[in-house]
Structure 1
């Protein structure tokens, strides 16, 4: 794995960190289930030992818990040795009507805080200040505009407010780069076409299972916008060599058509002696716009497994057969 040279304007520190797997820390916020803090700290220790240096978090993840735990795990390490990114668009405020748990939003934490959507310039400044406090850091390297499509389209608000402020922060050297993170490829393309992001974080839409069809990847290539591919296992559907009947897709039960497609991919993989999860991790790197592939990791064991999968060689014949069977888009 090597980082793309697509965006030479990005600092060398980012280029180096992008060359290995990115470490996603939504699970540090107790996403899906409770993750003991010790597991989070051990995960970062193992990632560090394996040479991984790109870590991503967000206020959304466990109402700030992920940021707090990641900051604690990185404390004492040379700040010049790693890249950390967090997100803007959701401010955290006291919850006027707490119900006791944030589980309806997917996180097993108390709901003393609530998320307030804000894609204005002031919202960016306030969000960054609060994130730095939770992280215990004086700077982050990358800021992402987070999910501007949910629950309603906030593109115009972000374009008028967040984008100019992020441009200013980049110009002043407060951050090294900014981008937009979303699972909505069409929304991301609007930012690529109408703003000047350095990066986009595409969740689950350029994977072995499915490739976006709105021209986002080609637009990123043309505009020299680096792509960080996340959600490459499609919520777990590609995380095992044989997708089970109860596999998830988009954080819910996988539809029959998606399950059937995943099983066809698995069958081809078996004939080539390929691990399906390894192929899922390898696939995005084949596109020249991709500068990093990131996976969520909640324990030392998951870090070790993902790194081992990422190190496996995938024969070219495997990709060729997928193409010939129509299981990959023609220009993938």
Structure 2
């Protein structure tokens, strides 16, 4: 299958509408509720490198580098990163000490490149800068300076900022330094708080990457037996809205997961949507979700179903 590639803003990157999310394939049971054995993670990464989705996203923080290690082994098995493939990773604080200095960013990228078995990545993000202050991150020699230097040195083809809290991430978008924005859990069927942030990035010709469209799983598998959204307990009003969306999808004979993916993928501002996978067969299933025909009327009904939700509901 050949997809039309999307332009990722001014980054110079052309990318498929979907990107495979590397967090679950490294095994993060605390977030996703299940273990992923090493060989299963490697096999999934290998299937990604040779499959229709031509991008994978990971981080030095995912399972303390295990996601990168497994992807690196898959890269070795296929003989290197394919020329048309977008490999993205992220650098962030030391998870034990909280160190978010420029020097820690240098240590982080060195570790990432070693685990991945590459000397550069097409896309590199500053990950979760909510864990430091904007003034510290932007001081001379700080994380923002370092990631910009990594781009200038060719270690990163393009640079982005990835995080959750929309007000914090907006400050980084407004610097004009970054080529790409990655937002997660804030532009989904039930959480629209990233709307202004996405607009701000689009106005600056930044590429926009949207992640966690399943809200940690509940918008894929449904609310039966599930009470968490965005890796935390969901309030009753949010669960009620999800159940109403499930009802609307059932009436339209559309899988909830397809609606969740296409809510993002059909948005012209979104360059690519990240879907986490942990088994090779999930790749083809994800492609089928984004290719399914869904009437506009369903999304109109979903919009009405969530219009009453408070603006400060869930992660901001």
| Structure 1 residues 47 and 327: alpha-carbon distance in aligned structure 2, compared to 1, 3 A threshold | farther
Secondary structure class of the residue paired with 2:104: helix
Unaligned 5+ segments in structure 1 are 92-113
The alpha-carbon deviation at position 155 of structure 1 amounts to: 2.1
TM-score, scaled relative to structure 2: 0.87
Matches within 5 A, 1:295-306: 295-306=275-286
Q: Contact 2:11–2:180 (CA<8 Å) still a contact in 1? A: no
Aligned to 1:310: 290
Within 2, Cα distance between the matches of 1:44 and 1:5?
A: 23
Match of 2:18 among 17, 21, 36: 21
Matches within 5 A, 1:25-44: 25-32=22-29, 33-44=34-45
Q: Contact 2:53–2:283 (CA<8 Å) still a contact in 1? A: no
Q: Deviations over 1:248-271 (max 9, x none)?
A: 212233321111111111112222
The alpha-carbon deviation at position 115 of structure 1 amounts to: 3.3
Matched pairs, number = 299
Within 2, Cα distance between the matches of 1:133 and 1:46?
A: 21
Which 4+ runs in 1 deviate beyond 6 A? none
Match of 2:160 among 179, 183, 207: 179
Secondary structure class of the residue paired with 2:208: strand
Within 1, Cα distance between the matches of 2:302 and 2:248?
A: 7
Aligned CA RMSD, in angstroms, stands at 2.2
Match of 1:219 among 200, 208, 222: 200
Within 2, Cα distance between the matches of 1:296 and 1:147?
A: 18
Q: Deviations over 1:173-195 (max 9, x none)?
A: 32111111111111111111124
Aligned to 1:69: 70
Within 1, Cα distance between the matches of 2:178 and 2:263?
A: 24
| Structure 1 residues 204 and 326: alpha-carbon distance in aligned structure 2, compared to 1, 3 A threshold | closer
Matches within 5 A, 1:239-278: 239-240=220-221, 242-278=222-258
Within 2, Cα distance between the matches of 1:65 and 1:213?
A: 29
Q: Deviations over 1:206-230 (max 9, x none)?
A: 0111101672121112111111111
Unaligned 5+ segments in structure 2 are 310-316
Secondary structure class of the residue paired with 1:187: helix
Q: Contact 1:46–1:304 (CA<8 Å) still a contact in 2? A: no
Secondary structure class of the residue paired with 1:80: coil
| Structure 1 residues 269 and 34: alpha-carbon distance in aligned structure 2, compared to 1, 3 A threshold | closer
Aligned to 1:190: 171
Q: For structure 1, which segment, 292-301 or 213-222, has the greater mean C-alpha deviation from structure 2 after superposition?
A: 213-222
Aligned to 2:84: 81
Q: Deviations over 1:105-136 (max 9, x none)?
A: xxxxxxxxx53433333222221111111111
Match of 2:300 among 320, 326, 329: 320
2:146 aligned with 1:142: no
